[in-house]
Structures are given as structure tokens and as C-alpha cells.
Amino acid sequence: MYTLKIRRFDPESREAAYWKDYEAELPPERSVLDGILQIKDREDASIGIRCSCRAAICGSCGVKINGRSALACNTRIGDAAERARDGAITVEPMGNMPVIKDLITDMEAVHWKKVRRVTPWLLPAEEPPENQEYIVPAEAMLDVTQAMACIHCGACVSSCLSMEVDPEFIGPAALAKAYRFVGDPRDGEHRERLEDLAEDPHGIYDCTHCFACVEVCPKDVAPMDQIMRLRRRATADYEIKDENNGYGHEQAFVNIIEKWGTLHEAQLLPRSFGDGSLVKGQLRPSGAKQLTENLPTVISGLRSGKVKVRKALMHPKLPDQKQVRRIIKEIETKDERLELNLYIIGEEAGEPGATPVEEEPFTSEGRA
Amino acid sequence: MKLAYWPGCVSRGFTPELHGSVAKVAPLLDLELVELDRANCCGAGVIAEHNQELVDALNARTFAMAQDVQEAAGMMNICSTCQGAQSECQSRLDADPGYRAEVNSHLEPEGLSYQTDQRWWNKNFLWILVEEIGLDALRAKVQRPLEGLRLAPFYGCYIVRPSKRLGFSDHPDRDRYLDWVIEALGGEPVDYAGARKCCGFPVITMNRATSLRQAGRHLADAIDAGADALVTPCPLCHLNLDLQQPAAVQYVERDLGIPVLHLPQAVGLALGLEPKELGMDKHVVSTRDVARKVSQLAAA
């Protein structure tokens, strides 16, 4: 017997949302969705939930279980009970989107609108070959298979901590979808797509790198990793010097590590505002403006005694800094970037007893 | 217990009080720390976004140095971000021998090599407190239980997500350790919405509004839940929650003003050290009220 504490809301009743406890009786390996459907069947048919395939394929039954975004059909009720507080499994509608009724959220208002924002279709470079299909080498598509696994359940959108404070953030699902085309060799507008997403203040540089979407995705799409791939393409391949300092921040960081080996925080800000360059960051008007905005923080840091003027100006190099510099140079001057995607090779590959991967195990991303 | 010790960049940069308090607390916990003073930055997620092989090589270099420390039980870090960034690299290095060999080839000129070894680990101070020292042993060392202090845990994203990569299959409660440690120190862990959310630091240079709205909201939630202070194992979170706190006020349009302690400072207070020895006078948001409460606590 399991207790499910379900969040109820009916806009027509004109009453505020409330929690109500229900009992479900089924074995622990059955799903939370099975529990809800049993309650609907036996106790209260008015509970609203969207569901269809019951097998984590259609992506309809996204909810929050014990506060965590998940598919109800993909969560064992026994496991949910173990993580439940006070013995009751809480089930509530997904976050970051309006609620239509009970556990049903408005996917159109947030999720689909954002997906459409990224032009979710192929924009080929040229006319399709006549009377035949596009031929793409299978390896060229490996890189986007992870993004293609998305079933649009909205779990990542629901958990997104950036969207929580900035509802305009394009968000994890839509940006993963964007990578699906930026990583597709048939698409002819990679640069335009990346420029658009890099310059949008709510685009790829509005992701706070919190892993919430990676944690909840039932299909291991790892949307945040796809956002990082978009950033990598935008900076390393297309050198898009965006107004949001995305390019600047990345360059600043790498340049600092190349010079000193550890992070020289005092230079991160001015360099970020100048595409990685300290001088540029201080001289260009936008850099100077942003530095002024940060002045109160600098002053309170100095006043507290945690930041010393000397420390802000001087930063020691590592004893073997030439080794760090050599490694950076060796890797940065390679013709192709190496990327090991555990989604493709399997996370268990390296564990004892697992079959070692014999073939070329990693994919290389070509440079533009 | 002897440990290879990676202090990270920020603990020796803008949060020197963290580095100092670890130096004070470690001997009281019988931790012998061999500092990896030749090791480099973990990349903090930024180098990972720039070039994966590069970040893996840089962290393999740190791991190799740690593995060379004779008789060390493992490697300790004191930063949630280091933990996450390094665990990510370690998972790739361990997953594939061919890839590992390729990455190790960059370390060869220095005579270094990272070896996959099931027994070798890299753990944050928080994990070491619970898994290596143990809460009972920690409790036994407490000289001054932090009774009446309401402490809001702030974990830092990188140490709790993705759970798959952070050893949660063997240690499923790693996202509760900070609450447990606060309790073991005699304090009262505060339940509030922000404990496992993002401090906003990674986008402070790219989207100041998003960044400081996040920091401000969690601070406000902790204040509303009646916390005396936040406690965090992550110095980057500390920067956004403490150093940037005065700036966050305008983004949440309300008063803030809650001190943020580094985890080793909270441990140090309970082990009998004085706030000043732990660098608590070096914070932007005054820790005076916490210090006063602590001074009124009787020694056990």
C-alpha cells in the first residue's frame, strides 16, 4: 500500500491548488503512473493526468515526483516511496510552465514555443539531390544521436534552474534541439543558427551549468552537454564574439590558465569583457561600462580584507607552468578535437568485467 | 589519514579564509595533507566547454600527481566545482583505455601518467567527513556543539548532479551529507528551497541578472526559513552568495544580509577554533552575529 500526495487544481472551481492523499495498492516494481491510474479507477476519476504509451516513449506523463521532474511511467512506485518524505510520495505538475488542471501542464505555452524558436527543421545548404536521398556517412550523425533521443517530455524544462529566474531563457530542450541541427552536416546555416543563439541574451550563455536537466532527462539526452557543444562550436569553430561575453569568458579563462596555470580571478572579469584580452576589456566602451557596474563588488571585496590589492594585481605562476602551456598548445593545435561521448560508447565500458571497446572509440569533431 | 590535497584556485585567490581554515581544521581531524602545489586549475566547466581533451589532460595531470603521493589514501578537494569538473574527466578517462592512453601521452614529457584504479578516489572534504572520518568520530571531536545555530546547507550543483557520475550508486545519500554534518556539529540544519539549487556564479559575466537573481532568491529563502547563516562546501558559490550579496539585493528587491560560512569554518567552530582563526572577519557579509552566538556557547 502506497500513499500518494497529489497536487490538485481545477481552474473552473476558482479554488487555490491543494494537496490530497490517496492510497494505491500494487507491487513496488509497478510505476507511479500505474498508481495514479489505479486511484483514478477506484477512487477519484476526476484527477487529471496526460498519458499514453506507459513505456517512456511518448513523453506525455511528465510530472514532479518527490520534487524531482520525471516520467510517471518510468518511475517505480517502490523506489519513489523510498525517497519520499514522511512516507507519502508527492506528485505535482511540472515546473516552469502553467498548469491546466491537476498534473496537466501547458506544454504549448512554454516548451513548444521555445522549440519553435530554434527553427527545428533542416535548412539545407543546397537543393536536395535530384531523385535521390541525401547520403550522409553514419559517423557524421553519431554526434547528434544523443540530441535526437529527446521525446519532448518537458522534464528538463521543468527542472531548469535558469528558467526559474529567467522565463525567457530558451531552455534545455529547445537548445538540445538546436544542436541536433548545428551538429547535422546537411544543415547549411550553422553559423547563422549559432550567431542567433549566442547573441540572444536568453540563449546559450544564459545556461548556468547546473546539471538539473542532465539529472532528470529520462532519455540521457544531457541537454546541458548539448548547450556546451553549441558554445564550443560558436567559440572555437566560428569565433562568434557575442555581446553576452560568452566568447570572452571562455577565452579569458583559457588564456589565464595558459599564462598562470591557476585562475587569476581579478583578471577574469576585465578579460571576459574584452574577448579574452585584458587591454581590450578595459578600453572598449562596453567593457568599461560593465567593469564600472562591478566596481561596488570589487570595493566591498577589498574592504572585507579577503581581496588584497597586491593579490589582485599579482598572481603566481605554477612552478611547472611551461608544462601546462605545452599541453594546451599540443591539444589546441590538433586538426581535430577529440571527444569521448559516454552516451555513445556506454558509461560502463571501462568497468571491470565490461567488454573493452576495440574499435575507434571516440568521435572527432571536424573544425569548420 | 594521509591525503593528496588539491586546494583549487579560488581558495588561494578570493577566498583565502577557506584555505586557511582547512589548514587549521585538518590536524584536529587527524588529516595529514600533502598539498599539490604544482597542479593546475580543474577548468571549472569552462575548459570542458572549450575543449574536452584539454580539460581531461589537465585533470589527468592533477590525478597523476596525487597518485604519486606515497601512502596517501586518496585525493581531497575543497570545492564542489572541482569535485564535479574532476569527476566528469575521471569518468571519461576510466571509461576507455584508448582514450586514456591518448590523454596520458600529453603527460609523458613530465613523467606523469594517470592510472585507472578502482581503489583510488578524489573526494570533497564533505564526503571525507562522512565516509572516511565518520559522523560518530566527528561528533566525538566536537568541543563546542553549535547549539541553537540554524545553518542552511548550500551544496553547490557540481557536488550533487549528475548523481550518476558522482558515485551516488555506492553512496546514495551524498545529497544529504551537509545536513548530516551540520547536525553532527550540534547545529540545526535549515530546510529551505535553495539548498541544492544553483548559486548563479557560472553566468556572472554573461548574464548578471540571471546570476544574481539566483543568488538573491536562495539567500532570501534561507532568511525566510530563519537561518543564521548558510554553509557551503563550494568557494565559487561563496563568491556569488557572499561577495556578490550586496549587488544581489537590487535583483530581488528586498533586504538580504545573511553570512555564508565555508564548510571547514563551520567544522572549525565546533572543534573549538575561534572565528578569527578561521578568517571569518574576511567576509563581505558580516559574520559578527554568528561569532557572538558561538562565543556564548559553552564548551562541551
Question: Which among A214, A265, A297 has CB closest to B10?
Answer: A265
**What integer pLDDT is reported at residue A309 of this predicted model?**
83
Closest CA–CA distance from residue B283 to any residue of chain A (Å): 6
B40, A300: Cβ pair inside 8 Å?
no
* 8 Å CB contact of B17 and A306: yes
Average of per-residue pLDDT across A223-233: 97
Would you tell me how many other CB atoms lie within 10 Å of the CB of residue B272? 14
**pTM for this one?**
0.94
Give the one of A166, A250, A345 whose C-beta lies nearest to B50's C-beta: A250
How would you label A52-76 residue by residue, b for 16+ Cβ within 10 Å and e otherwise? eebebebbbbbbbbbebbbbbbbbe
User: Is residue A161 helix, strand or coil?
Assistant: helix
Helix axes A138-148, A223-232, angle to 10 degrees: 130
* Chain A nearest CA to B221, separation (Å): 14
Residue of chain B nearest A295, judged by CA positions: B247
B91 with A342: Cβ contact below 8 A: yes
B245 touches B284 (CB < 8 A) = yes
Looking at per-residue confidence, does B242 or A280 come out higher?
B242
Does the structure's ipTM exceed the value 0.90? yes
Which of B12, B40, B83 has the highest number of chain A CBs within 10 A, making it the mutation to test binding with A?
B40
Chain B: nearest CA to A272, how far in angstroms? 7
Taking only the tens of pLDDT, chain B with its 300 residues reads 999 999 999 999 999 999 999 999 999 999 999 999 999 999 999 999 999 999 999 999 999 999 999 999 999 999 999 999 999 999 999 999 999 999 999 999 999 999 999 999 999 999 999 999 999 999 999 999 999 999 999 999 999 999 999 999 999 999 999 999 999 999 999 999 999 999 999 999 999 999 999 999 999 999 999 999 999 999 999 999 999 999 999 999 999 999 999 999 999 999 999 999 999 999 999 999 999 999 998 766
Average pLDDT along chain A: 91
What does the alpha-carbon distance between residue A18 and residue B279 come to, in Å, rounded to a whole number? Answer: 47
User: How distant is the Cα of A271 from the closest Cα of chain B, in angstroms?
Assistant: 10
pLDDT digits (tens, 9 = 90+) for A132-185: 888 888 888 888 999 999 999 999 999 999 999 999 999 999 999 999 999 999
> Are the beta carbons of A301 and B14 separated by less than 8 Å?
yes
Q: Convert the pLDDT of each residue in A11-42 to its tens digit.
A: 999 999 999 999 999 999 999 999 999 999 99
- At A362 the pLDDT is 52
Residue-level pLDDT at A347: 62
Cβ–Cβ under 8 Å, residues B218 and B199: yes
Q: Tell me how long chain A is.
A: 368
Model confidence band, residue A193 (pLDDT cutoffs 50, 70, 90): very high
For residue A344, name the pLDDT band (cuts at 50, 70, 90).
confident
Alpha carbon distances (Å) from A337 to A366, B19, B55, B180: 7, 35, 12, 43
Confidence of residue A363 (pLDDT cuts 50, 70, 90): low
Q: B40 and A337: CB-CB below 8 Å? A: no
Tell me, what's the pLDDT at A310? 80
Identity of the amino acid at A2: Y
Q: Please tell me the distance in Å from A46's CA to the nearest CA on chain B.
A: 30
pLDDT of A366 over the 50 cut: no
Put simply, the answer to whether B205 touches A273 (Cβ < 8 Å) is yes
Could you tell me where the beta strands, DSSP code E, fall in chain A? 2-8, 18-24, 62-65, 68-71, 88-92, 99-101, 104-105, 337-339, 363-365
H/E stretch holding B27 reads helix B16-28
What pLDDT, in 10s, does the model give residues A82-93? Answer: 989 889 999 999
| CB count in 10 Å sphere of residue B68 | 14
Whether A356 has a pLDDT exceeding 50, the answer reads: no
DSSP at A362: S
Of B58, B197, B281, the CB nearest to A305: B281
Q: Measure the CA–CA gap between A108 and A96, rounded to whole angstroms.
A: 12
